[in-house]
Amino acid sequence: MAEVTVFQAINMDRNQRQLIDTAAMDWLTSPAAGVMRKPLEREAAESGQVTSIVRYAAGTFFPAHNHPAGEEILVLSGTFEDEHGCYPAGSYFRNPPGSSHSPGSSEGCELLVKLNMFQRDDLQPVNIDTTTQPWLPGLVAGLSVMPLHQFNGEQTALVRWQPGTHFSRHSHTGGEEIYVIDGVFEDEHGRYGAGSWLRSPDNSQHQPFSEQGCTIWVKTGHLAHLPG
């Protein structure tokens, strides 16, 4: 008798701090040939809430599908595309609950993808080319911010740290999630190079800084509406 593989959820306890060096992870296959994944948190095998790094080989296209609770994507490299347009590296977009598409990539790409985590009334599509958007001054010298999305306590932004920038100790109501795009992000708990993914629970605290400088994608407040 063939052995039955039982799926186990991955990092779904949002009360636990998570740190993953995605650069050290192996790529896993997906149902579509040429599409590989690195799961960071995953509720079910091919459904439910998912955060992952996804790689499309050149010339790869995924079958048409819908997103019952939304899809959020940051294009890390290459060009992602679907029937609605092409999204080069630096593109950030949100496809709201009930949307559908046939995604793929003619040249190949890598993405940070979050599925099925939208709040029920968050229905506004978002499509931002972060390479052309202005940076706004942060709360301390050396810090620049590019707001990407805000809804009902949830905020998403790019944050650029100049070398030697330090921020005050603070907490995050509703949690915090970080993906390090380049450079080295730091706090009292450690150093996090490019490709690091961190998720900190509701009301967690830290005192971040960057001696080398870095750019990070940051989401805060979202864990408040997700199951524990």
pLDDT of residue 6: 43
Share of the chain above pLDDT 70, in %: 95
- Domain residue extents for the chain: 23-128, 133-225
pLDDT at 64 over 50: yes
User: Which residue matches tokens 């524990």?
Assistant: 228
* Residues in CB range of 187: below 8 A, 6 or more apart: 206, 207, 208, 209
Antiparallel, parallel or unpaired: β 71-82 and 126-129: unpaired
Please provide the size of the chain in residues.
Answer: 228
**Structure-block tokens of residue 121:** 């009334």
Question: Is pLDDT larger for residue 61 or for residue 144?
Answer: 144
pLDDT of residue 3: 38
Nearest to 208 by CA among 160, 158, 167: 167
Mean pLDDT along residues 1-26: 79
pLDDT of residue 46: 67
For residues 68 and 76, give the distance between their C-alpha atoms in angstroms, rounded to a whole number. 24
CATH architecture, range 23-128: Sandwich (2.60)
For residues 197 and 106, give the distance between their C-alpha atoms in angstroms, rounded to a whole number. 27
Residue 24's beta-bridge partner residues?
none
Eight-class DSSP state of 187: E
The topology under which CATH files domain 133-225 is Jelly Rolls (2.60.120)
Question: Is pLDDT larger for residue 66 or for residue 130?
Answer: 130
Mean pLDDT along residues 183-211: 97
pLDDT of residue 189: 95
Eight-class DSSP state of 135: P
Tell me how crowded residue 205 is: count the other CB atoms within 10 A of its CB: 12
For residues 4 and 63, give the distance between their C-alpha atoms in angstroms, rounded to a whole number. 26
Nearest to 192 by CA among 204, 180, 181: 180
- Identical fold between 23-128 and 133-225: yes
For residues 39 and 30, give the distance between their C-alpha atoms in angstroms, rounded to a whole number. 11
pLDDT of residue 116: 93
